[in-house]
Structure 1
């Protein structure tokens, strides 16, 4: 079909021939169809190129938008997580401060048993505090730990009075109460009272001795934490047994005048690592 050729002569406006060209006869005969086919093919090619370019551009933009959307979703999740953590932190702060209140209540109960003043918050303190929740959480944990340490120390520290009577003979050197002559070392304090008055332990501990012991008469000895020991002497009777655990404020015996005694009173001693101390220094916090 394309083997047959037709000569095509190109003529200038003045009638002179400039160029001659051989083209397939089919093209000359059906030039309209060929032209339409060429135009159609060109249009299809252009449209295909436009489609491909548009498709690639769309994919690029879709990818960019997807990245932005994913980033926004991630930021939104972080905001939700932060909000959740803030709520959790707030709840933890509330629980921590409630624990602090509970610790103070427990400490005050123990102070009350010993006849000591309760811990109170100062009503004249206050003012704006520019702290975030993280600071408050850290502060509440700090105070909770401090109170727990204080409570633990209070349990084993012989604080307060074992009896409410006045001191009739302090710790230190004194005249012999029987001969009223010479000097002797008084290793505790004497608290005046009536026979049968309750005598209370001043700290949590374990009874190491309860019974008669020479000049002490009937005496109760209690071991506490951190090397402390307390002794309650001249009792008319003991109310605890060896090996028994006692809490601060528990009655360990009844006041009397047994042993080397001039009358009804409590002889009270405080020892630290077997060294006798002045009990009066432990009568208040």
Structure 2
């Protein structure tokens, strides 16, 4: 097909010079298709080059964007970590203050058992300082103080063993049997009805429970810090010697046994082997 030639004459525009060239006849017959094919090839080549350049450029941008995204993700992870640590700190603070609330609840429960008013924070205020560390240390300090206070309250005879009216205070009084002379009354008499419950005013250990001379039926309890309490003229006791008791626990029932002119409770407080005025411990 290519061996068959056709002479092609090239003439200048002024007609002065001519050129003659032999080309394959198939080119002459199909020159339009050949030119179209060349044009298509050029277009494809141009688009291929453009696509390659664009792809390389996109890869560069993608690499840059990936780096930025990785930086943002790392910052996000750090923020989440900081938030988690902050949450842990807040949880620790809540636990600390909950411990304080729990301690106050226990103390107030013991105050109620003694017939005393609850501890309430009154006439207090001031600016709140920032700083979680300060809060944590402050809560630890108050928790320690409250635990110490609770331990002291456990062994201190606070409140009243019976809510009856005081019929004979601590100190010297006229002899209630002869109505003559004076005698030392080393406790407080609280009026009541036979069978009324008598409650311990502090945590301790029973050292005696039974009948003892002028006391009649009496319960004696040893407490911490050198304290002892006695509950006399009972109609019966409700505890035994050696028994550990809590504040507010019923130790006996009010009566009129022993040296008594009528139903009442004779209550004594002893500190370091010396009888003291129980009324000083009726309120906190």
Normalising by structure 2, we get a TM-score of 0.70
Q: What per-residue deviation string (whole Å, max 9, x for no partner) do you get for residues 79-99 of structure 1?
A: 998766544332221100000
Counterpart of 1:258 in 2: which secondary structure?
coil
More deviation, 152-161/125-134? 125-134
Partner of 1:112: 112
Counterpart of 1:281 in 2: which secondary structure?
helix
Deviation at 1:128, TM superposition (A): 3.0
Counterpart of 2:129 in 1: which secondary structure?
coil
Q: Give the Cα separation in 2 of the matches to 1:253 and 1:136.
A: 46
Q: Give the Cα separation in 2 of the matches to 1:115 and 1:125.
A: 25
Counterpart of 1:134 in 2: which secondary structure?
helix
Partner of 1:121: 121
Q: What per-residue deviation string (whole Å, max 9, x for no partner) do you get for residues 154-176 of structure 1?
A: 11110000000010000011111
Q: Superposition pairs for residues 1-285 of structure 1, below 5 Å?
A: 86-122=86-122, 125-285=124-284
Q: What per-residue deviation string (whole Å, max 9, x for no partner) do you get for residues 101-159 of structure 1?
A: 1111111111111110011233x644432231111111111111111111111111100
More deviation, 240-249/78-87? 78-87
Give unmatched runs, 5+ long, in structure 1: 1-72
Q: Give the Cα separation in 2 of the matches to 1:270 and 1:145.
A: 28
Aligned residues: 211
Q: What per-residue deviation string (whole Å, max 9, x for no partner) do you get for residues 22-60 of structure 1?
A: xxxxxxxxxxxxxxxxxxxxxxxxxxxxxxxxxxxxxxx
Partner of 2:65: none
Normalising by structure 1, we get a TM-score of 0.69
Q: CA distance change for structure 1 residues 214 and 150 in 2, over 3 Å: closer, same or farther?
A: same
Give unmatched runs, 5+ long, in structure 2: 1-73
Q: Give the Cα separation in 2 of the matches to 1:157 and 1:177.
A: 31
Q: Give the Cα separation in 1 of the matches to 2:225 and 2:81.
A: 46
